[in-house]
Amino acid sequence: MGRTLLDKVWDAHAVRELPNGQTQLFIGLHFIHEVTSPQAFAMLRDLDLPVRYPGRTYATIDHIVPTDDQARPFVDSLAEEMTESLTASCRDYGIEFYDLISGEQGIVHVIGPEKGLTQPGMTIACGDSHTSTHGAFGAIAFGIGTSQIRDVLASQCLAMSKPEVRQIKVTGALQPGVYAKDVVLAIIHALGVKGGVGYAYEYAGPVIEAMTMEERLTVCNMSIEGGARFGYINPDATTFEYLRDREFAPAEGFDVASDYWRQIASDPDSSYDDIVELEGEDIEPMVTWGINPGQSVPVSGRLPVPEEHPDEAASYQEALEYMGFEAGQSINGTPVDVTFVGSCTNGRISDLRIASQLARGNKVAKGVKALVVPGSMSVRRQAEAEGLHEIFQEAGFEWRQAGCSMCLAMNPDKLQDREVCASSSNRNFKGRQGSPTGRTLLMSPAMVTAAAIAGEVVDVRTTMSAAQS
Amino acid sequence: MNDTIIEKISGTAVPLRGDDIDTDRIIPARYLRCVTFDGLGEHAFEDDRKQDPDHPFNQERFDGAAILIVGRNFGCGSSREHAPQSLRKWGIEGVIGQSFAEIFFGNCNAMGMPCMTVDADTCEALFVAAEADPPPNFEIDVSDCTIRFGDSSVQGSMPNGPRESFLAGTWNATAVLLEAADHVDEVASKLPYIKGF
């Protein structure tokens, strides 16, 4: 019987079985940011413990950074205090810190891959649930809380229970206008927001194999929205070519490394705890209508009628009331007030290129506030080298500095009151984008850009075919 | 460096109905702009409480509750430990629910705050019991995963790993993980990406 990638990577990092039956797992790469680590460093200081492997932790700031005026000290004194706290801890413990003056700052899940820090076969932890993103490289990557950050800093290990593995095969091919974001939203819709609890998701099949690394990052990013703490894709030639010549990728030993990475992929005769198949051709551009990422419909579809779904009726009713939508209504044509292209889900250069193609020669609809926020300083530089910022600005989009921005409302980019936001981010929870009554519609960057121009939710496939004719 | 043994949690319970309650709702992100967990208790469920005067955390009769009863997939979303920390600072010492999101569950274990799962019918019975006036006293017994209230006793469940850690007082994993420091170095030295390809 073959072994899955999870089996192989888990075993290579297992230090011992703990008295309670969990595994003491070595963590090969640890990322930290300003929100969830200050308290962990305080705990470490209370225990008078050093950082065991300072060279295996990398820091950046992303959640609280303003994306317009980044002059220090920040206007928000609390944001300034958090930044100072992380700066001091990195200095005291000898941790590499990609801060604003480094020119290398960005969302932690964007800079790890782009610097080549994230590699196949690693165990990767970060105090952030979207750490599953890094699984796109064939790593076992997962989010942790602050007490666990303390554990990694102190011991470079975590006490973990091994998950089961569900293989999700996406067969066939995608229609034009359908993107990685639509694939993962369709998966979460099919399996539910808690369907993945206790599982690692292994994404496979022709649609996944045909994806670029950046598309794979989008899919793995949202594993946690389906309840799966881990999501990964077996490394292949696409993975290796992405890594070649990156700053932290092996240089001289690259071919040896590639051979090793190929070996850690799941064996063809692996057994899985569960297997699910989705047909790629059936996936349409997806839009969320509710208050969790599983509450979505194809853009051509209609919102559910709660009475027809007894098990979900109460949740659907609560979501409809919060969103101010009617059961059975169409999502297409929903007016939007704000649009946001960015985040660790969709703030990479390929996302900005797609958005810019739709923005080119068009104008943001009157009354719509439209943000484009690159995921890292490096993405921003690349976009500007390609002239994308000028396309966006001419079309009336705001071109911002790198950060988490309007994904989560910890910085000045926030919704107001009941505003509706078409967003390329990952969560549509109540209040997520900064207003306790704000409303989020998750969709692909292409769909977000089309919505910005139309002033309402539209089917980007129609926009694209109109542009071609 | 062992921690307190956690075997029984006793007190009144606050019933919080609803499924998929995410950590942004437990503690809105604006309260994550801090460098300590102090003071988070007063902001637990703040936006939900402002929009719903009848929210259980607004009701005086549930003040002082030590146990929180929830529905399915409680604590989904962000990994922020600020969420369980805010509940702890509000006074919660243990949680009973139909199911928990994985990272939230792990955070609670690491904080010494047991989460016990029960089936849907049992959960409904617990909601009804906790909503009674006057409310009964509840007890979570980690050793055999029972929940007692009034004259009743129901069975819950908890994975063995965290259960044994609570009973052994080793739920704060740092000391346990540090015991094997030499072995950790040995495992690290064999990893190709550490020793060099």
pLDDT at B84: 98
Whole-number pLDDT of residue A155 = 98
Compute how many other C-beta atoms are within 10 angstroms of the C-beta atom of residue A161: 16
According to DSSP, the residues that pair with A216 across neighbouring strands are: none
A23 with A145, same domain: the answer is: yes
Do A43 and A84 fall into the same domain?
yes
Which of these three, A261, A282, A303, is where a domain ends? A282
Domain identity same for A264 and A316: no
* Cβ atoms B20, A193 nearer than 8 A: yes
Do A43 and A154 belong together in one domain?
A: yes
B190 lies in some domain? no
* Banded pLDDT at A465 (limits 50, 70, 90): confident
Q: Flag whether residue B161 sits within 8 Å of chain A, measured between CB atoms.
A: yes
Q: Give the pLDDT confidence score for residue A409 in this predicted structure.
A: 84
Mean pLDDT value of segment B76-105 = 98
Q: Note if the pTM is more than 0.90.
A: yes
Q: What's the whole-number mean pLDDT along residues A323-331?
A: 98
Output the CA–CA distances (angstroms, integers) from residue B189 to A213, A221, A322, B186, in the order listed.
29, 30, 53, 5
Q: Provide the number of structural domains found in chain A.
A: 3
Peptide bond into A304 cis (omega under 30): no
Please say if the pLDDT value at position A380 is more than 70: yes
The answer to ipTM > 0.90 is yes
Residue B191 belongs to a domain: no
Both A19 and A132 in one domain: the answer is yes
> Are B174 and A155 an interchain contact pair (Cβ–Cβ within 8 Å)?
yes
Instruction: Please check whether residue B189 lies inside any domain of the structure.
Output: no
**By three-state DSSP, how is residue A200 classified?**
strand
Q: How many CA atoms within 13 Å lie on the side-chain side of A228?
A: 33
Whether A132 and A212 map to the same domain: the answer is: no
Candidates B76, B109, B170, B171, partner chain A, best to mutate (most A CBs within 10 A): B76
Residues B122-169 pLDDT 10s: 999 999 999 999 999 999 999 999 999 999 999 999 999 999 999 999
- Cβ under 8 Å to A: B residues 105-144: 106-107, 110-111
Cα–Cα distance measured from residue A6 to residue A264, given in angstroms and rounded to the nearest whole number: 9
Q: Would the CA dihedral through A71, A73, A78, A83 be positive or negative?
A: positive
Residue A33: count other Cβ atoms within 10 Å of its Cβ: 22
Q: Is B188 inside any structural domain?
A: no
> What is residue A464's predicted lDDT score, i.e. its pLDDT?
85
Is residue A125 located within the same domain as residue A9? yes
CB A462 within 8 A of CB A446: no
Residue A275, domain CATH: 3.40.1060.10
* Whether B159 contacts A161, CB under 8 Å: yes
Per the structure, the count of domains in chain B is 1
Quick one: A58 and A198 in the same domain? no
> The tokens of B144 are what?
């055999």
Its domain, for residue B151, covers 8-170
| Dist CA A246 CA A430 (whole Å) | 39
Q: List, in sequence order, every residue forming a beta bridge with A242; answer none if it has no partner.
A: none
Residues 362-391 of A with CB under 8 A from B: none
State whether A214 and A186 are in the same domain. Answer: yes
Shortest alpha-carbon distance between residue A352 and chain B (Å): 25
For chain A, positions 48-87, list CB contacts with chain B under 8 A: 49, 52-53, 63-64, 76, 78-79, 81-82, 85
Domain end call among A253, A282, A311: A282
In CATH, what number is assigned to the domain containing residue B106?
3.20.19.10
Q: Tens digit of pLDDT for each residue in A428-447?
A: 999 999 999 999 999 999 99
Measured between CB atoms, does B190 come within 8 Å of chain A? yes
Residue B1 has pLDDT above 60, yes or no: no
- Residue B3 is predicted with a pLDDT of 79
Task: State the residue range of the domain holding A375.
Answer: 287-468
What is residue A266's DSSP assignment?
P
pLDDT tens digits along A6-58 = 999 999 999 999 999 999 999 999 999 999 999 999 999 999 999 999 999 99
What does the pLDDT look like over A302-324, one tens digit per residue?
Answer: 999 999 999 999 999 999 999 99
- Is B185 a domain residue? no
Inside any domain, residue B65? yes
E strands of A62-152, at which residues? 96-98, 123-126, 140-143
Strands (E) in B31-190, as ranges, are: 67-70, 94-97, 115-117, 138-141, 146-149, 152-155
Please indicate, yes or no, if residue B108 is contained in any of the structural domains.
yes
Give the model confidence (pLDDT) of B3-39 as tens digits. Answer: 799 999 999 999 999 999 999 999 999 999 999 999 9
Instruction: Report how far residue A283's alpha carbon sits from residue A178's, in angstroms, rounded to the nearest whole number.
Output: 7
CB B116 within 8 A of CB B127: no
- Closest Cβ opposite residue B29 in set A119, A194, A409: A409
Q: Does one domain contain both A96 and A170?
A: no
Structure confidence at residue B2 as a pLDDT band (50, 70, 90)? low
Mutation to test the A interface, candidates B5, B142, B177, most A Cβ within 10 Å:
B177
Query: How many angstroms away from the CA of B10 is the closest CA of chain A?
Result: 24
Give me the DSSP letters along A273-332.
SEEEEEEGGG---EEE-SSSTT-EEETTSB---GGG-TTTHHHHHHHHHHHT--TT-BST
The predicted structure's pLDDT at residue B136: 95
| CB atoms closer than 10 angstroms to residue A229 | 27
| Nearest in space to A334 (alpha carbons), one of A178, A440, A437 | A440
pLDDT in tens, A170-184: 999 999 999 999 999
**Are residues A179 and A296 both part of a single domain?**
no
Please, which pLDDT band fits residue A469 given cuts at 50, 70 and 90?
low
Tell me the mean pLDDT in the region A379-391: 98
Q: Is B51 touching A (CB cutoff 8 A)?
A: yes
**Using the beta-carbon criterion (under 8 Å), do B32 and A63 form an inter-chain contact?**
yes
Beta strands in A53-114 (DSSP E): 57-60, 96-98
Q: How far apart are CA A225 and CA A231, in angstroms?
A: 11
Peptide bond into B134 cis (omega under 30): yes
Last residue of a domain, one of A102, A126, A160: A160
Q: Are A105 and A442 in contact (CB under 8 A)?
A: no
On whether both A152 and A130 belong to a single domain, the answer is: yes
In angstroms, the CA A432 to CA B76 distance is: 13
Supply the mean pLDDT for chain A.
Answer: 97
CA distance B76 to A292: 10
* Inside any domain, residue B176: no
